[in-house]
Amino acid sequence: MQNFVGVILPFVLMLVIFYVLVLVPENRRKKKYNNMLNSLVLNDEIMTKGGIIGKITNIQDDFIIVQSGPDRTRIKLSKNGILEVTKSANTSTPEK
């Protein structure tokens, strides 16, 4: 029995350490990101994962339309393409 515990204990400890160091922070990050996506409103200034900065002009279920640049170019993109909200329409201060 002691030999069995001596063999299994290191594997159990490695799984616990992996869970605490990798999975818990990743789940927190995903929850924060999903809350950010659900709180998007019109006229929020966002940055996409591709580096495009613009204002939200239309929000649909899975897509948004972003207006960017001096020519007011409109771009339709997936909500998952948003990196961060740089300026919220409600608070007008940067969120991080």
Q: Where are the domains of the chain?
A: 1-38, 41-96
Amino acid at 84: E
The tokens for 51 are: 């580096």
Question: What is the fold of 41-96?
Answer: SH3 type barrels. (2.30.30)
Q: What is the pLDDT of residue 73?
A: 95
* E strand map for the chain: 45-48, 53-59, 63-68, 73-78, 82-87
Q: What is the pLDDT of residue 5?
A: 79
Beta strands 82-87 and 73-78, pairing class: unpaired
pLDDT truncated to tens, each residue of the chain (96 aa)?
A: 678 778 898 899 999 999 999 999 999 999 999 999 999 999 999 999 999 999 999 999 899 999 999 999 999 999 999 999 998 878 645 555
Q: What is the pLDDT of residue 94?
A: 53
Distance CA 36, CA 81 (A): 12
